[in-house]
């Protein structure tokens, strides 16, 4: 008799594989089918979600706290300001430590000037070291100017005058503009850390009005910053502190500050070339210099008027 165990065993294996395939196919279809839930549970879930949303919207304090959670805490902000101040002081100390030894008589002159006479003596002292220690004098000037601008310390006008006496005019003008814009930007960042919370706490309505005006003129911010830097309508420290609060971006702020301080810096640097003939910081202010500043201030607003004219024409 022929042996039927081979075909029979093959048939059993085939039947088992087919059954296993069908079982898996049914399980997959079951998983893909939509899950039916109890309508009452769906209604309960939707009502609970609606109650949660109503509760969230009816609690403005939670919304305010969540929106302001992105701001730094007061302790963190103060710590950062202290860190920046100490870092700036350390940088100035490292630069001044590279200066040559100064005798006792010169040490009395080697200080930040408080009037034009002290500025004359300091300029004369530094001019004796500029040829041999130009890098130390230049970077010491750079750090000091940025430090004064960062922490809104008055007196940078003396450094602008001295720069005209120490350095070539193009270098002096670029240095003063760079230091003014960079120091103002650091002051901007400090105000961004702590100033926004103070302004929103004490003068929220006025801050909102300023922010709306900035939003309307967002395409012309550089022109307006140029105008404010050239004209004496607002002090520079006020512009530095208020700008981040009302939403002025940092890049146009720096660009506008760099080019905006150029015309008044031009006047004081030019006066510094004749430092020893000056009797006060008001000597550079003449009818010619004032007329020059007025011309530059009007030119800074020309792009705004042209944009408005073109916009009105095409609309």
Give CA separation, 89 vs 83, 122, 150, 152, 256, in Å.
Answer: 10, 20, 12, 15, 27
What's the pTM? 0.72
Please give the share of the chain, as a percent, with pLDDT higher than 70.
Answer: 76
In a domain, 274, yes or no: yes
Of 38-52, 89-103, 108-122, 246-260, which gets the smallest average pLDDT? 38-52
Q: State the CB neighbour count (10 A cutoff) for residue 314.
A: 6
Give CA separation, 306 vs 152, 193, 290, 301, 312, in Å.
Answer: 35, 36, 25, 9, 10
DSSP 135-198: HHHHHHHHHHHHHHHHTT-S-HHHHHHHHHHHS-HHHHHHHHHHHHHHHHHHHHHHHHHHHHHH
In a domain, 242, yes or no: yes
In a domain, 21, yes or no: no
In a domain, 209, yes or no: yes
| Region 95-103 average pLDDT | 80
Output 93 or 197, whichever has higher pLDDT. 93
Output 263 or 242, whichever has higher pLDDT. 263
Mean pLDDT of the chain: 78
Does the pLDDT at position 41 exceed 50?
Answer: no
Q: What total number of domains does the chain contain?
A: 1
Output 125 or 1, whichever has higher pLDDT. 125
Beta strands, E only, the chain = none
Instruction: Measure the CA–CA gap between 158 and 164, rounded to whole angstroms.
Output: 10
pLDDT digits (tens, 9 = 90+) for 128-166: 889 888 998 999 899 899 999 998 888 899 999 999 999
Confidence category of residue 118, pLDDT binned at 50, 70, 90: very high
In a domain, 86, yes or no: yes
| Region 224-243 average pLDDT | 89
In a domain, 26, yes or no: no
Does the pLDDT at position 16 exceed 60?
Answer: no
Q: What is the pLDDT of residue 53?
A: 44
In a domain, 307, yes or no: yes
Q: What is the pLDDT of residue 172?
A: 97
CB 71 within 8 A of CB 196: yes
Output 15 or 150, whichever has higher pLDDT. 150
Does the pLDDT at position 72 exceed 70?
Answer: no
Tokens 């140029």 — which residue?
Answer: 226
| Region 54-65 average pLDDT | 41
Output 194 or 40, whichever has higher pLDDT. 194
CB 207 within 8 A of CB 200: yes
Domain ranges, residue 271: 71-314
In a domain, 88, yes or no: yes
């Amino acid at each position: 008799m022929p042996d039927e165990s081979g075909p029979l065993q093959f048939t059993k294996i085939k039947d088992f594989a087919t059954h296993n395939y069908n079982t898996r196919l049914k399980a997959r279809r079951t998983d893909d089918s939509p899950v039916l839930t109890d309508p009452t549970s769906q209604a309960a879930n939707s009502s609970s979600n609606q109650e949660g949303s109503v509760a969230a919207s009816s609690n403005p304090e939670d919304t305010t706290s969540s929106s302001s959670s992105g701001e730094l805490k007061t302790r963190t902000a103060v710590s950062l300001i202290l860190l920046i101040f100490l870092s700036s002081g350390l940088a100035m100390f490292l630069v001044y430590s590279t200066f040559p030894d100064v005798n006792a008589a010169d040490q009395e002159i080697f200080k930040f000037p408080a009037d034009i006479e002290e500025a004359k003596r300091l300029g004369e002292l530094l001019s004796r070291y500029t040829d041999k220690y130009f890098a130390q004098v230049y970077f010491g000037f750079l750090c000091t100017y940025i430090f004064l601008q960062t922490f809104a310390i008055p007196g940078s006008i003396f450094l602008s005058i001295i720069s005209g006496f120490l350095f070539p005019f193009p270098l002096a003008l670029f240095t003063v503009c760079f230091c003014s814009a960079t120091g103002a930007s650091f002051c901007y960042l400090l105000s961004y850390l702590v100033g926004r919370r103070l302004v929103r706490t004490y003068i929220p309505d006025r801050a909102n009005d300023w922010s709306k005006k900035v939003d309307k003129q967002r395409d012309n911010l550089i022109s307006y910053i140029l105008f404010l830097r050239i004209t004496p309508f607002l002090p520079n420290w006020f512009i530095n502190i208020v700008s981040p609060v009302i939403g002025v971006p940092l890049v146009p702020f720096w660009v506008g500050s760099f080019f905006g301080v150029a015309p008044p810096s031009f006047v004081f640097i030019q006066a510094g070339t004749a430092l020893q003939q000056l009797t006060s910081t008001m000597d550079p202010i003449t009818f010619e210099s004032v007329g020059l500043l007025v011309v530059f201030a009007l030119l800074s607003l020309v792009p705004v008027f042209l944009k408005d004219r073109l916009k009105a024409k095409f609309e």
